[in-house]
Copies of this chain bind each other. A is one copy, B any other.
Amino acid sequence: MRTAHTLRTCLVTVFAAGCLASAQDARDPLPSWNDTASRRAIVDFVTTVTRAGSPDFVPVSDRIATFDNDGTLWGEQPVYVQLAFAFDRVKTLASQHPDWKQTQPFKGVLEGDMKAVAATGEKGLVDIIVTTHAGNTTEEFEKIVRDWIGSARHPTTKRLYTEMVYQPMLEVLAYLRANGFKTFIVSGGGVEFMRPWTERVYGVPPEQVIGSRAQVKYEHRDGRPVLLRLPDVDFVDNEAGKPIGIHQAIGRRPIAAFGNSDGDFEMLEWTTSGRSPRLGLIVHHTDAAREWAYDRASRIGTLSRALDEAPTHGWTVVNMQRDWKVIYPFQK
C-alpha cells in the first residue's frame, strides 16, 4: 500500500518536473534566438556533451556553467544597477550624514550632478558602494535590497530592473538546466546584492551565486548572533578574481562560461582551456535601437581584449542585434 502510494507520488512528480522539461525540449528550447552561428554553437555544444556513449560525453556532475550578470544576464547601462541602488542609498541615508552635502562624491549624488560624481573616478564609486553597503546586519541588508529591487525603476525605460533581463539568456539558463547543468552566476557585483532575487528571476539559488563581497563580523545583538557588514572589501570577483571565486566556491572547472566584457576574460579563458569540449560565449552589445551599442570605448562593460582574442580561443560572439529576436521578456 505504502509502496503503491509512493510510486504514484513519484510518477506525478516526474510528470510535473522531469518529463515536462523533456517534453518542452521537443519544442524549440531557444525560441528567442535567430538561427545563426551563435545559436548553433550553443546547441551543438549541449548536444555533444550530453550524447551518451560519445567520447565527448560529460557526466552530469561535471556540467557546470557560469554566467556573468551585468551586461550578460541583465542590462548595465547607463550605470550598473548596483550603482543606482547605491545612489538611492545615499539619498536615503543623507539625513544621518550632514557632511555629505559638502563632500564629493556624495554631494554630486545628492545634487544629481553625475559629472561631479564621475570626476571622483573609481575611488569615488568604491567610496559610495562601501559606505552605503556597510553597517547593517546581513539580514537587514537583504531586506533593503529586496525592497529596493521590488520597486526601483530604470531611468529611461521606467521598467523594474528585474524586467530588463535578457530573454534569450533566460532560455539558455533553462536549456542548460534541462540538460543536467548546474548554473552559477559569477559576477563582479556584490553577492549580497544579487542573492535576494536571483532564484526568482533566473532560477539560480543563493548558493550558486558568486560575487564580490564585503567583510562581515560575527557578533551578538540582543542576545542573538548576527553577521555585521563592515566597510571593508573582502573579495573582488572580477578579472583574475573570477576563476579564483569559481575555485573557492565550486572547486571544479566549468565547461561553459558566458560573459560580455574584459572583466570576464579570465573566466572564459579558465573555462575554455580545460580538456574536453567547452563553450565560451560573449554577449556583444550591438543594438542601439533595442538596447545599447557599446564595447571598446565604454567605461561600463568595456569589451576590447576579449573581443580581439575571441577567435583565437574559439569563443562565440553573440551579435545582439542579429542573433536575438527579442531582448526582454516583456517583448515576447
Complexed CA–CA distance, A269 and B243 (Å): 33
A205-B61, A207-B249, A244-B216 known; A225-B270 Cβ under 8 A: yes
Question: A2-B26, A6-B23, A191-B248 known; 5 other A-B pairs, CB under 8 Å?
Answer: A3-B23, A13-B14, A13-B18, A61-B205, A218-B270
Complex CA–CA separation, A255 to B213 (angstroms):
23
Q: With A18-B10, A18-B13 as known contacts, state yes or no: A227 contacts B247, CB within 8 Å.
A: yes
* A22 interfacial by beta-carbon distance below 8 Å: yes
A14 CA to B206 CA, complexed, in Å: 27
Interface residues of A in 1-36 (CB under 8 A from B): 2-3, 6-7, 9-11, 13-14, 18-19, 22-23, 25-26
- Tell me whether A127 is interfacial, beta carbon within 8 Å: no
* Contact A61-B195, Cβ < 8 Å, known A3-B23, A225-B243: no
Residues on B with C-beta less than 8 A from A192 are 251
User: Is A224 located at the chain interface by the 8 A CB criterion?
Assistant: yes
Question: In the complex the two chains form, what is the Cα distance from A269 to B224 in whole Å?
Answer: 9
Cβ–Cβ contact B213 & A248, under 8 A: yes
Q: How far is the CA of A23 from the CA of B6 in the complex (A)?
A: 7
In the complex, whether A250 has a CB less than 8 A from a CB of chain B is yes
Size of the chain A interface, CB-CB below 8 angstroms: 47
Chain A contacts with B in 125-159, Cβ cutoff 8 A: 138
Binary B-proximity of A229-260 (CB < 8 A = 1, otherwise 0): 00000000000100110011111100000000
* Distance in angstroms between the alpha carbons of A250 and B250 in the assembled complex: 11
Q: B199, A61: Cβ atoms under 8 Å?
A: yes
> How far does the alpha carbon of A11 sit from the alpha carbon of B22 in the complex, in Å?
12
Inter-subunit contact B209/A251 (CB<8 Å): yes
Q: Is A120 an interface residue (CB 8 A)?
A: no
| A206-B250, A216-B247 known; A26+B11 contact, CB < 8 A | no
For A227, list chain B residues within 8 Å (CB): 243-244, 247
**Which A residues, 177 to 214, have Cβ-Cβ distances below 8 Å to chain B?**
182, 191-192, 195, 199, 205-209, 213
On whether the beta carbons of A225 and B266 are closer than 8 Å, the reply is yes
Q: Within 8 Å of chain B (Cβ to Cβ): is A273?
A: yes
